[in-house]
Chain A
């Protein structure tokens, strides 16, 4: 019996995946919204992330980290693939600036002040992703660093700089 439990812990099944998806869907979606700065793209990437995760669920090893960290890593990888293909497309089309959605809707969440919304949109994806992981998802430094593929101290430095920039942008927005 103990042996069976150990095997099931090492080889998660589809039922485990359904539970993990239900539990962490909000986190992955929020992370991708911050990373992409575009709700529609984030929705597409969220669906794609979970489709990929389901395919690779057999390879997930709980001993190497939580399901949330693993799903966030996969979301980041999916988003990077998207950014790369978008970058190539823009290069082909001779456009170097990213399109910022001008829909007037709130991208980063309902109820955010316009200054904060604008400030977030002025941050880079690299800055927003660390904010999402550490502030929104409240991941600890080590887990966030693992998702970003950097050291914990580098992650802390990035977070500090991102917050400072966000605050500056908010202050600048209020003053304007």
Chain B
């Protein structure tokens, strides 16, 4: 079937005449084309069609490689959170009263209770404020009750006392909170005892130096006392009535200040002698067994891949409109060029 039959049969004669008189290639042109020699092959041809899949594969390999490397590094260098929770203390802070959570020394997180207790023994030469926060998990309500009673007994045995307590055991769950004061020389023994009641899931200790404050108070009290002695000496001598009244007023004020500062000092010293221990005992199931290294590596690699995917999606969201605009510009440019070509051919 001729292509023209699809258009109109009446043009067939016209078409035959055109085909019969088809232009013939002159022999010199044929020779010229035959004589064309191929250019030397390029050493390395950068074509977008080849480069795009290669770049895509390289990108995927890089993403997977980063995920695997980070997974291996994280999986082998850090213990699993569940293992950390069942192990020893989760945070150690001292020298400041501001709790900063688990960001401090990561090696301290995995110390054993014994070495941890030794490391944080209260100073024997300086006054310190010692605050401990413990969270211990027990298996059932019976244990919760017995351990709470044991904690109170141990506190009394160590010359401490109970400040505040709360006990709640609805249904199968339950918890008890105890705030205790224990002499600092016995606090390590108390912590060791409390920790053995069940699974220690959280432990935090905050140490704050009080020595400087007590020294400052002592110094101010000494100055005021010297001032009081001087005023008393002047009052014993000859004075005008106004001077006597003024000095008596100052003497009263200084004595009040000394009393207040002495109370503050006594409070600080008392606080330094008694450590504060907040013990929370909870009923709960044992956490799942710690995962193996391979599983941890897989988990970490997976989370890194998810993060990378998030970044890629974010980049696409940001760059998407620009890509759409760029694509639209390219398509418009092509369309404009085609129209221009068409006009050019129509007027040629």
For B5-41 the 0/1 string (1 means CB < 8 A from A) is: 0111011001101111111111001101110101101
The contact of A55 among B15, B19, B33, B39, by CB within 8 Å, is B39
Contact residues in A for B41 (Cβ distance below 8 Å): 58
Cβ-defined contact, A134 with B38, below 8 A: no
Closest-by-CB residue of B relative to A33 is B23
User: Interface range on chain B: under 10, 10 to 19, 20 to 34, or 35 or more?
Assistant: 35 or more
Closest-by-CB residue of A relative to B338 is A149
Q: Is B2 an interface residue (CB 8 A)?
A: yes
For A20-50 the 0/1 string (1 means CB < 8 A from B) is: 0110011001100111010100110011001
Cβ-defined contact, A50 with B36, below 8 A: yes
The contact of B47 among A22, A35, A59, A124, by CB within 8 Å, is A59
Cβ-defined contact, A14 with B8, below 8 A: no
Number of A-B contacts (CB under 8 A): 122
Contact residues in B for A67 (Cβ distance below 8 Å): none
Contact residues in B for A111 (Cβ distance below 8 Å): 20-21
Q: Is A80 an interface residue (CB 8 A)?
A: yes
Rounded to whole angstroms, the CA-CA distance of A54 and B26 in the bound complex is 20
Contact residues in A for B241 (Cβ distance below 8 Å): none
Q: Is A110 an interface residue (CB 8 A)?
A: yes
Rounded to whole angstroms, the CA-CA distance of A140 and B4 in the bound complex is 10
Q: Is B347 an interface residue (CB 8 A)?
A: yes
The contact of B348 among A25, A33, A83, A140, by CB within 8 Å, is A83
Contact residues in A for B4 (Cβ distance below 8 Å): 134-135, 159, 163
Cβ-defined contact, A54 with B341, below 8 A: no
Which secondary structure dominates chain A's binding surface? helix
Which secondary structure dominates chain B's binding surface? helix
Q: Is B344 an interface residue (CB 8 A)?
A: yes
Known contacts A116-B18, A170-B14; A163 and B30 CB within 8 A of each other? no
Contact residues in A for B118 (Cβ distance below 8 Å): none
Contact residues in A for B348 (Cβ distance below 8 Å): 37, 83, 98, 124-126
Contact residues in B for A58 (Cβ distance below 8 Å): 41, 45
The contact of B29 among A29, A59, A113, by CB within 8 Å, is A29
For A145-158 the 0/1 string (1 means CB < 8 A from B) is: 00001000000100
Q: Is B342 an interface residue (CB 8 A)?
A: yes
B39 to chain A, nearest CB (A): 6
Cβ-defined contact, A83 with B344, below 8 A: yes
Cβ-defined contact, A139 with B3, below 8 A: yes
B262 to chain A, nearest CB (A): 96
Cβ-defined contact, A57 with B23, below 8 A: no
A-B contacts besides A50-B36, A98-B348, A106-B21, 15 pairs, CB < 8 Å:
A21-B34, A26-B24, A29-B25, A29-B29, A37-B348, A43-B26, A54-B38, A54-B39, A83-B344, A110-B24, A111-B21, A125-B345, A140-B3, A156-B6, A156-B7
Ranked nearest first, the 6 interchain pairs of A and B with the lowest CB-CB distance are A109-B21, A126-B345, A125-B348, A125-B345, A112-B21, A111-B21
